[in-house]
Structure 1
Amino acid sequence: NGTNYVFFSSTTAGGYQLYLGDASTGQRWSLSQFGVNNDTTKAKLGSNYYAGTTAAATQQTVLLSQGKPASASSSYSSSLGPAYAFDGNTTSTRWDSIEGVAGTQWLMVDLGSTRTINGVDLYWDAGAKVYSIQTSNDGVNWTNIYSTSNGVAYGHVALANLKGSGRYVRMYGTQRATQWGYSLDEMQVWGY
Protein backbone atom coordinates (compact mmCIF):
# COMPACT_ATOMS: atom_id res chain seq x y z
CA ASN A 1 0.00 0.00 0.00
CA GLY A 2 2.97 2.34 -0.51
CA THR A 3 4.34 2.20 3.03
CA ASN A 4 7.94 1.41 3.93
CA TYR A 5 8.57 -0.07 7.36
CA VAL A 6 11.92 -0.06 9.14
CA PHE A 7 13.24 -1.21 12.50
CA PHE A 8 15.36 1.36 14.32
CA SER A 9 16.68 2.09 17.76
CA SER A 10 16.49 5.44 19.50
CA THR A 11 17.57 6.97 22.79
CA THR A 12 14.60 9.35 22.77
CA ALA A 13 12.83 7.51 25.60
CA GLY A 14 16.07 7.06 27.55
CA GLY A 15 18.38 4.15 26.86
CA TYR A 16 18.29 2.32 23.56
CA GLN A 17 14.73 1.45 22.60
CA LEU A 18 13.66 -0.52 19.55
CA TYR A 19 10.88 0.79 17.31
CA LEU A 20 9.05 -0.04 14.13
CA GLY A 21 8.63 3.00 11.94
CA ASP A 22 6.79 3.93 8.75
CA ALA A 23 9.38 5.78 6.65
CA SER A 24 6.65 7.30 4.48
CA THR A 25 4.59 8.90 7.25
CA GLY A 26 7.09 9.13 10.12
CA GLN A 27 4.75 7.20 12.46
CA ARG A 28 6.51 4.92 14.91
CA TRP A 29 5.52 2.14 17.31
CA SER A 30 7.50 1.01 20.34
CA LEU A 31 8.18 -2.72 20.55
CA SER A 32 8.21 -2.65 24.36
CA GLN A 33 5.00 -4.68 24.51
CA PHE A 34 6.94 -7.63 23.05
CA GLY A 35 9.61 -7.52 25.73
CA VAL A 36 12.45 -6.42 23.45
CA ASN A 37 13.37 -3.32 25.49
CA ASN A 38 13.49 -4.96 28.90
CA ASP A 39 17.29 -4.87 29.23
CA THR A 40 18.22 -1.17 29.53
CA THR A 41 21.92 -1.91 30.02
CA LYS A 42 22.52 -3.01 26.42
CA ALA A 43 22.04 -1.17 23.15
CA LYS A 44 19.22 -2.63 21.07
CA LEU A 45 20.56 -1.99 17.60
CA GLY A 46 18.69 -4.79 15.90
CA SER A 47 15.49 -6.76 16.08
CA ASN A 48 14.98 -9.18 18.92
CA TYR A 49 12.61 -12.02 19.71
CA TYR A 50 9.66 -12.26 22.05
CA ALA A 51 10.69 -14.56 24.87
CA GLY A 52 7.22 -14.94 26.31
CA THR A 53 6.03 -18.33 27.54
CA THR A 54 2.97 -20.30 26.63
CA ALA A 55 0.99 -22.67 28.80
CA ALA A 56 2.15 -25.62 26.71
CA ALA A 57 5.80 -24.70 27.15
CA THR A 58 5.54 -24.79 30.92
CA GLN A 59 3.78 -28.16 31.05
CA GLN A 60 5.67 -31.43 31.30
CA THR A 61 4.37 -34.26 29.09
CA VAL A 62 3.61 -37.35 31.17
CA LEU A 63 2.02 -40.76 30.70
CA LEU A 64 -1.65 -40.24 31.58
CA SER A 65 -3.24 -43.62 30.91
CA GLN A 66 -1.37 -46.28 32.85
CA GLY A 67 -3.52 -47.98 35.47
CA LYS A 68 -6.61 -45.92 34.61
CA PRO A 69 -10.10 -47.46 34.18
CA ALA A 70 -10.58 -48.98 30.74
CA SER A 71 -13.43 -50.40 28.70
CA ALA A 72 -13.90 -51.86 25.25
CA SER A 73 -16.61 -52.70 22.76
CA SER A 74 -15.74 -56.39 23.22
CA SER A 75 -13.08 -58.69 24.65
CA TYR A 76 -12.05 -62.13 23.44
CA SER A 77 -11.85 -63.37 27.03
CA SER A 78 -11.52 -62.08 30.59
CA SER A 79 -7.76 -62.70 30.48
CA LEU A 80 -7.57 -60.40 27.43
CA GLY A 81 -9.68 -57.56 28.84
CA PRO A 82 -9.23 -53.81 28.27
CA ALA A 83 -7.34 -53.15 31.53
CA TYR A 84 -4.41 -55.21 30.21
CA ALA A 85 -3.75 -52.57 27.52
CA PHE A 86 -3.05 -49.99 30.25
CA ASP A 87 -1.03 -52.04 32.74
CA GLY A 88 2.43 -50.83 31.66
CA ASN A 89 3.41 -54.15 30.05
CA THR A 90 4.13 -53.73 26.32
CA THR A 91 4.95 -57.38 25.57
CA SER A 92 3.27 -59.98 27.82
CA THR A 93 -0.32 -58.82 28.42
CA ARG A 94 -2.87 -57.45 25.97
CA TRP A 95 -6.45 -56.60 25.05
CA ASP A 96 -8.07 -58.62 22.28
CA SER A 97 -11.41 -57.82 20.68
CA ILE A 98 -13.66 -60.57 19.42
CA GLU A 99 -12.45 -62.35 16.28
CA GLY A 100 -14.27 -63.37 13.13
CA VAL A 101 -16.69 -60.59 12.26
CA ALA A 102 -14.91 -58.08 14.50
CA GLY A 103 -15.85 -55.12 12.27
CA THR A 104 -15.86 -51.85 14.22
CA GLN A 105 -14.34 -52.15 17.70
CA TRP A 106 -12.96 -49.68 20.23
CA LEU A 107 -10.72 -49.56 23.29
CA MET A 108 -11.18 -46.65 25.71
CA VAL A 109 -9.42 -45.25 28.77
CA ASP A 110 -10.87 -42.85 31.36
CA LEU A 111 -8.18 -40.35 32.40
CA GLY A 112 -10.31 -39.17 35.34
CA SER A 113 -10.42 -35.51 34.26
CA THR A 114 -10.09 -33.48 31.08
CA ARG A 115 -6.46 -33.46 29.97
CA THR A 116 -4.48 -32.12 27.01
CA ILE A 117 -3.41 -34.98 24.73
CA ASN A 118 -0.27 -34.64 22.61
CA GLY A 119 0.75 -38.23 21.87
CA VAL A 120 -0.40 -41.84 21.75
CA ASP A 121 1.72 -44.99 21.51
CA LEU A 122 0.06 -48.13 20.17
CA TYR A 123 1.73 -51.51 20.65
CA TRP A 124 -0.19 -53.66 18.19
CA ASP A 125 -0.31 -57.43 18.49
CA ALA A 126 -2.91 -57.50 15.68
CA GLY A 127 -3.44 -54.12 14.11
CA ALA A 128 -6.06 -51.99 12.42
CA LYS A 129 -5.83 -50.93 8.79
CA VAL A 130 -8.37 -48.14 9.31
CA TYR A 131 -8.70 -46.50 12.72
CA SER A 132 -8.93 -43.21 14.58
CA ILE A 133 -7.75 -41.88 17.91
CA GLN A 134 -10.65 -39.98 19.46
CA THR A 135 -11.19 -37.84 22.54
CA SER A 136 -14.33 -36.99 24.48
CA ASN A 137 -15.31 -35.03 27.58
CA ASP A 138 -18.47 -37.07 28.22
CA GLY A 139 -17.82 -40.50 26.68
CA VAL A 140 -20.64 -39.88 24.18
CA ASN A 141 -19.53 -37.16 21.76
CA TRP A 142 -16.18 -37.89 20.11
CA THR A 143 -13.58 -35.84 18.21
CA ASN A 144 -10.94 -37.35 15.94
CA ILE A 145 -7.41 -36.18 16.74
CA TYR A 146 -5.79 -38.75 14.43
CA SER A 147 -7.00 -41.10 11.71
CA THR A 148 -5.42 -43.35 9.10
CA SER A 149 -6.47 -45.81 6.42
CA ASN A 150 -2.98 -47.30 6.19
CA GLY A 151 -2.43 -48.85 9.61
CA VAL A 152 0.02 -51.64 10.41
CA ALA A 153 -0.63 -55.34 11.05
CA TYR A 154 1.58 -55.39 14.15
CA GLY A 155 4.30 -53.49 15.99
CA HIS A 156 4.82 -50.19 17.77
CA VAL A 157 3.25 -47.04 16.32
CA ALA A 158 4.14 -43.69 17.92
CA LEU A 159 1.67 -40.89 17.16
CA ALA A 160 3.38 -37.64 18.14
CA ASN A 161 2.38 -33.97 17.98
CA LEU A 162 -1.32 -34.68 18.45
CA LYS A 163 -3.56 -31.81 19.43
CA GLY A 164 -6.58 -32.67 21.50
CA SER A 165 -8.16 -32.71 24.92
CA GLY A 166 -10.65 -34.83 26.77
CA ARG A 167 -11.30 -37.06 29.73
CA TYR A 168 -11.76 -40.14 27.56
CA VAL A 169 -9.43 -41.35 24.81
CA ARG A 170 -10.12 -44.30 22.55
CA MET A 171 -8.78 -46.24 19.61
CA TYR A 172 -11.70 -46.64 17.21
CA GLY A 173 -10.99 -49.37 14.65
CA THR A 174 -13.19 -49.81 11.59
CA GLN A 175 -11.11 -52.23 9.45
CA ARG A 176 -8.72 -54.90 10.65
CA ALA A 177 -5.21 -55.33 9.25
CA THR A 178 -5.16 -59.09 9.98
CA GLN A 179 -7.59 -62.02 9.99
CA TRP A 180 -7.70 -61.76 13.79
CA GLY A 181 -9.58 -59.26 15.90
CA TYR A 182 -7.96 -56.03 17.04
CA SER A 183 -5.27 -56.61 19.65
CA LEU A 184 -3.18 -54.09 21.61
CA ASP A 185 -0.39 -55.09 23.98
CA GLU A 186 -0.44 -51.53 25.30
CA MET A 187 -1.98 -48.15 24.52
CA GLN A 188 -0.18 -45.21 26.09
CA VAL A 189 -1.77 -41.77 26.17
CA TRP A 190 0.62 -38.84 26.71
CA GLY A 191 -0.08 -35.25 27.63
CA TYR A 192 -0.58 -32.99 30.63
Structure 2
Amino acid sequence: MKTLKKVFFSMLITALLLSNFPYSVGVHASETNIALNKPVTTSSVRPARSELVGALVVDGIDDDESSRWSSKMATGLGENEGPSEDGTVEQWITVDLKNVYDLSMVYVSWEGAYAKSYQIQTSLDGTNFTDIYVNTNAKGGKKTIDKTSFINPALAKYVRVKCNEPVKASWGIQFMKLN
Protein backbone atom coordinates (compact mmCIF):
# COMPACT_ATOMS: atom_id res chain seq x y z
CA MET A 1 0.00 0.00 0.00
CA LYS A 2 2.85 2.42 0.82
CA THR A 3 4.41 1.71 -2.58
CA LEU A 4 1.11 2.43 -4.31
CA LYS A 5 0.80 5.78 -2.46
CA LYS A 6 4.37 6.74 -3.42
CA VAL A 7 3.69 5.92 -7.07
CA PHE A 8 0.44 7.91 -7.00
CA PHE A 9 2.01 11.02 -5.47
CA SER A 10 5.01 10.79 -7.80
CA MET A 11 2.67 10.65 -10.78
CA LEU A 12 0.61 13.56 -9.44
CA ILE A 13 3.67 15.77 -8.90
CA THR A 14 5.04 14.86 -12.34
CA ALA A 15 1.69 15.66 -13.98
CA LEU A 16 1.55 19.06 -12.29
CA LEU A 17 5.09 19.91 -13.29
CA LEU A 18 4.60 18.78 -16.88
CA SER A 19 1.37 20.73 -17.22
CA ASN A 20 3.16 23.95 -16.22
CA PHE A 21 0.60 24.55 -13.48
CA PRO A 22 0.07 28.24 -14.30
CA TYR A 23 -1.37 29.74 -11.16
CA SER A 24 0.32 31.23 -8.17
CA VAL A 25 -2.29 32.52 -5.78
CA GLY A 26 -1.57 35.74 -3.97
CA VAL A 27 -3.64 37.72 -1.52
CA HIS A 28 -4.63 41.24 -2.49
CA ALA A 29 -4.23 43.61 0.42
CA SER A 30 -6.65 46.48 -0.07
CA GLU A 31 -3.92 49.09 0.29
CA THR A 32 -1.81 47.52 -2.47
CA ASN A 33 -2.48 48.48 -6.10
CA ILE A 34 -1.79 45.15 -7.83
CA ALA A 35 -2.74 46.65 -11.22
CA LEU A 36 -0.01 49.30 -11.06
CA ASN A 37 1.90 49.38 -14.37
CA LYS A 38 0.54 46.01 -15.52
CA PRO A 39 -0.25 45.36 -19.22
CA VAL A 40 -3.60 46.69 -20.44
CA THR A 41 -5.70 45.97 -23.51
CA THR A 42 -8.74 47.96 -24.62
CA SER A 43 -11.54 47.63 -27.10
CA SER A 44 -10.51 50.90 -28.77
CA VAL A 45 -8.69 54.22 -28.40
CA ARG A 46 -10.24 57.38 -29.79
CA PRO A 47 -8.19 58.50 -32.82
CA ALA A 48 -8.55 62.22 -31.97
CA ARG A 49 -7.10 61.50 -28.51
CA SER A 50 -4.68 58.68 -29.39
CA GLU A 51 -2.34 59.65 -26.54
CA LEU A 52 -5.01 58.54 -24.01
CA VAL A 53 -4.24 54.82 -24.06
CA GLY A 54 -5.34 52.13 -21.61
CA ALA A 55 -1.95 51.91 -19.89
CA LEU A 56 -2.61 55.34 -18.34
CA VAL A 57 -5.43 53.81 -16.26
CA VAL A 58 -2.90 51.74 -14.25
CA ASP A 59 -0.14 54.35 -13.93
CA GLY A 60 -1.01 55.26 -10.34
CA ILE A 61 -2.12 58.84 -11.14
CA ASP A 62 -5.74 59.77 -10.47
CA ASP A 63 -7.62 63.03 -11.17
CA ASP A 64 -5.35 64.07 -14.04
CA GLU A 65 -6.98 64.76 -17.41
CA SER A 66 -3.83 63.64 -19.26
CA SER A 67 -3.79 60.28 -17.44
CA ARG A 68 -6.88 58.41 -18.61
CA TRP A 69 -8.17 56.07 -21.30
CA SER A 70 -10.47 57.45 -23.98
CA SER A 71 -12.41 54.96 -26.10
CA LYS A 72 -13.89 55.66 -29.50
CA MET A 73 -17.31 57.29 -29.45
CA ALA A 74 -19.69 54.53 -28.35
CA THR A 75 -22.30 55.31 -31.01
CA GLY A 76 -22.59 51.84 -32.50
CA LEU A 77 -22.01 53.40 -35.94
CA GLY A 78 -18.53 52.02 -36.47
CA GLU A 79 -15.96 49.39 -35.61
CA ASN A 80 -13.36 49.51 -32.84
CA GLU A 81 -10.48 49.22 -35.32
CA GLY A 82 -9.60 51.77 -37.96
CA PRO A 83 -9.50 55.57 -38.22
CA SER A 84 -13.20 56.33 -37.62
CA GLU A 85 -14.12 58.21 -34.43
CA ASP A 86 -17.24 56.01 -34.12
CA GLY A 87 -16.97 52.62 -32.43
CA THR A 88 -19.26 49.97 -31.03
CA VAL A 89 -21.57 50.76 -28.10
CA GLU A 90 -19.85 48.20 -25.89
CA GLN A 91 -16.30 49.17 -24.85
CA TRP A 92 -13.94 47.44 -22.42
CA ILE A 93 -10.59 47.65 -20.68
CA THR A 94 -8.66 44.63 -19.37
CA VAL A 95 -5.67 44.50 -17.02
CA ASP A 96 -3.34 41.48 -17.00
CA LEU A 97 -2.27 41.14 -13.34
CA LYS A 98 0.47 38.65 -14.37
CA ASN A 99 -0.35 36.42 -11.36
CA VAL A 100 -3.55 35.09 -9.87
CA TYR A 101 -4.99 37.07 -6.95
CA ASP A 102 -7.98 36.66 -4.71
CA LEU A 103 -9.32 40.19 -5.06
CA SER A 104 -10.60 41.94 -1.97
CA MET A 105 -11.69 45.12 -3.77
CA VAL A 106 -11.70 46.97 -7.08
CA TYR A 107 -11.41 50.76 -7.37
CA VAL A 108 -12.75 52.56 -10.44
CA SER A 109 -12.52 56.26 -11.21
CA TRP A 110 -14.53 57.61 -14.13
CA GLU A 111 -14.18 60.88 -15.99
CA GLY A 112 -17.43 62.65 -16.98
CA ALA A 113 -17.86 60.22 -19.91
CA TYR A 114 -18.64 57.19 -17.74
CA ALA A 115 -20.53 53.98 -18.39
CA LYS A 116 -24.01 54.06 -16.88
CA SER A 117 -24.15 50.27 -17.21
CA TYR A 118 -21.06 48.14 -16.66
CA GLN A 119 -19.71 44.88 -15.30
CA ILE A 120 -16.45 44.08 -13.55
CA GLN A 121 -15.29 40.68 -14.70
CA THR A 122 -12.44 38.34 -13.84
CA SER A 123 -10.68 35.57 -15.71
CA LEU A 124 -7.88 33.09 -15.16
CA ASP A 125 -7.11 32.66 -18.88
CA GLY A 126 -7.97 36.02 -20.50
CA THR A 127 -10.71 34.43 -22.59
CA ASN A 128 -13.46 33.20 -20.28
CA PHE A 129 -14.73 35.99 -18.03
CA THR A 130 -17.10 35.86 -15.05
CA ASP A 131 -19.00 38.81 -13.63
CA ILE A 132 -18.05 39.72 -10.07
CA TYR A 133 -19.95 43.02 -10.01
CA VAL A 134 -22.76 44.48 -12.13
CA ASN A 135 -24.01 48.07 -12.09
CA THR A 136 -26.90 48.98 -14.38
CA ASN A 137 -27.52 52.43 -12.90
CA ALA A 138 -24.03 53.90 -12.45
CA LYS A 139 -23.46 57.57 -11.70
CA GLY A 140 -19.76 57.85 -12.58
CA GLY A 141 -17.24 59.32 -10.16
CA LYS A 142 -15.02 57.22 -7.90
CA LYS A 143 -16.16 53.89 -6.54
CA THR A 144 -14.51 51.30 -4.33
CA ILE A 145 -16.24 47.96 -4.71
CA ASP A 146 -15.29 45.64 -1.87
CA LYS A 147 -15.60 41.88 -1.63
CA THR A 148 -18.99 42.10 0.13
CA SER A 149 -20.45 43.50 -3.13
CA PHE A 150 -19.00 40.75 -5.34
CA ILE A 151 -21.58 38.35 -6.78
CA ASN A 152 -19.00 35.62 -7.49
CA PRO A 153 -15.60 34.65 -6.11
CA ALA A 154 -12.92 37.01 -7.39
CA LEU A 155 -9.93 34.80 -8.18
CA ALA A 156 -8.34 36.65 -11.09
CA LYS A 157 -5.34 36.92 -13.36
CA TYR A 158 -7.26 39.32 -15.62
CA VAL A 159 -9.70 42.04 -14.58
CA ARG A 160 -11.98 43.59 -17.18
CA VAL A 161 -14.41 46.48 -16.94
CA LYS A 162 -17.00 45.88 -19.64
CA CYS A 163 -18.91 49.07 -20.41
CA ASN A 164 -22.34 48.27 -21.84
CA GLU A 165 -23.90 51.72 -22.15
CA PRO A 166 -22.21 55.14 -22.09
CA VAL A 167 -23.77 58.12 -20.35
CA LYS A 168 -23.48 59.91 -23.73
CA ALA A 169 -22.61 57.94 -26.89
CA SER A 170 -20.72 60.77 -28.61
CA TRP A 171 -18.31 60.93 -25.67
CA GLY A 172 -17.44 57.24 -25.59
CA ILE A 173 -15.87 56.03 -22.34
CA GLN A 174 -13.31 58.03 -20.34
CA PHE A 175 -11.75 55.95 -17.60
CA MET A 176 -9.38 57.60 -15.13
CA LYS A 177 -8.17 54.77 -12.89
CA LEU A 178 -8.51 51.07 -12.20
CA ASN A 179 -6.88 49.55 -9.12
Please say whether Structure 1 and Structure 2 have the same fold, judged by a TM-score greater than 0.5: yes
Q: Which has a greater percent of strand?
A: 1
Q: Which amino acid aligns with 1:95?
A: W
Please name the residue that 1:48 is paired with.
none
Please name the residue that 2:61 is paired with.
89
| 2:40–2:95 CA contact under 8 A, matched in 1 | yes
- Note if 1:186 corresponds to 2:177: yes
Distance 2:28 2:53 in 1: 32
CA offset digits 1:35-62 (Å, max 9, x no partner): xxxxxxxxxxxxxxxxxxxxx9x97432
Q: TM-score, normalised by structure 2?
A: 0.68
Distance 1:69 1:89 in 2: 16
Please name the residue that 2:123 is paired with.
136
Q: TM-score, normalised by structure 1?
A: 0.64
Where relative contact order (Cα < 8 A, 6+ residues apart) is larger, the structure is 2
- Note if 1:123 corresponds to 2:109: yes
Query: Identity across aligned pairs (percent)?
Result: 31
User: 1:84 is paired with a residue of what secondary structure?
Assistant: helix
Alignment root-mean-square deviation, CA: 2.0
| 2:56–2:68 CA contact under 8 A, matched in 1 | yes
**Which ranges of 4 or more aligned residues in structure 1 deviate by more than 4 Å?**
none
- What stretches of structure 2 of length at least 5 have no aligned partner? 1-25, 77-87
Q: Which has a greater percent of helix?
A: 2
User: 2:56 is paired with a residue of what secondary structure?
Assistant: helix
User: 1:85 is paired with a residue of what secondary structure?
Assistant: helix
User: 2:157 is paired with a residue of what secondary structure?
Assistant: strand
CA offset digits 1:50-101 (Å, max 9, x no partner): xxxxxx9x97432210110101010114311000111011111100110143
Aligned residues: 132
